[in-house]
Amino acid sequence: MNWRERIVVDPDVLAGKPVIKGTRLAVESILDLMGHGWREAEIHENYPGITPEDIQACSAYASEILKSERVYPVKV
C-alpha cells in the first residue's frame, strides 16, 4: 500500500493536517474512530465517500510516521 497516493498535506486544508485525498477528512479522525473500536464497515457507512483503501492508507501513514519518530532521553 502506497499511502502517498491517498493521503495529502495541503496548508490550505485543515491547517495542513494530513487528509484523505479529495476530502477534508483528517487521518487523525479516522485513526481516532479506529482507536475507539469502530470497524472499517462502520467508518465506511458513516463516511461513504472514502474507500477501504483510504482507511488502510491512514494506518499505513501513521505507521510510517511513527517509525520515523526519534525519541532522545533527557536526564533530569
* Domains parsed from the chain with CATH numbers: 3-68 (1.10.10.10)
Whether residue 57 contacts residue 65, with contact meaning beta carbons closer than 8 Å, is answered with no
pLDDT of 13: 94
Position 3 scores a pLDDT of: 94
Q: Can you give the pTM of this predicted structure? A: 0.86
The model's pLDDT over 13-61, given as tens digits with 9 standing for 90+, comes to 999 999 999 999 999 999 999 999 999 999 999 999 999 999 999 999 9
Instruction: Give residue 36's pLDDT.
Output: 98
Cα(28)–Cα(54) distance, integer angstroms: 13
Of all helices (H) and strands (E), which one includes residue 70?
none
The whole-number pLDDT of residue 38 equals: 97
